[in-house]
Structure 1
Amino acid sequence: MANDTAPAWVAIELTPKRRMDLMRAIAKAYPPYAIWWSAGIYYATTPKPGGGDNTLYDTNAGDLCKQLAAALGREVVEL
């Protein structure tokens, strides 16, 4: 039947371990950013020269990776 396949995009709930693994992979792919998650939002922070920090955030880890790549002037890393 035509409706037997899942849509191209399906939201899934990550377990805490899988979320931590994802955040570690993002941090490894985009140093010097530290990655963390709170209340459904992924954050990436790094110190700014001269003090303070630079923080990027998004509800979607993939979109956060796009922001990180743009901030670092690099291609997006496939995780």
Structure 2
Amino acid sequence: MSKSLNSIYAVQYDPKEEFLHGIIAISARKALEKEKINSLEKLSDYSEKEIMELHGFGKNTMIKLKDYMKEHQVFFKEA
């Protein structure tokens, strides 16, 4: 059974297509996906406060996200 589950998982999941995979938790990624935020460019159109209001975002997630954005020279818009 495990083998068939792995096959299904491999077909449906491609980490290259998952925005912020391995950076922030899945609940936060799903919240971004729901808002159709799937790139750093789109993320930069929002303020930190707006993103913090989404489900799945807390202090630790925001720290990780801001560090990742800084590495890529992308920043939140000013509130």
Higher-helix-fraction structure? 2
The answer, yes or no, to whether TM exceeds 0.5 is no
- TM-score normalised by L of structure 1: 0.26
TM-score under structure 2 length normalisation: 0.26
Point out the structure with the larger strand share: 1
Structure of greater relative contact order (alpha carbons < 8 Å, 6+ residues apart): 2
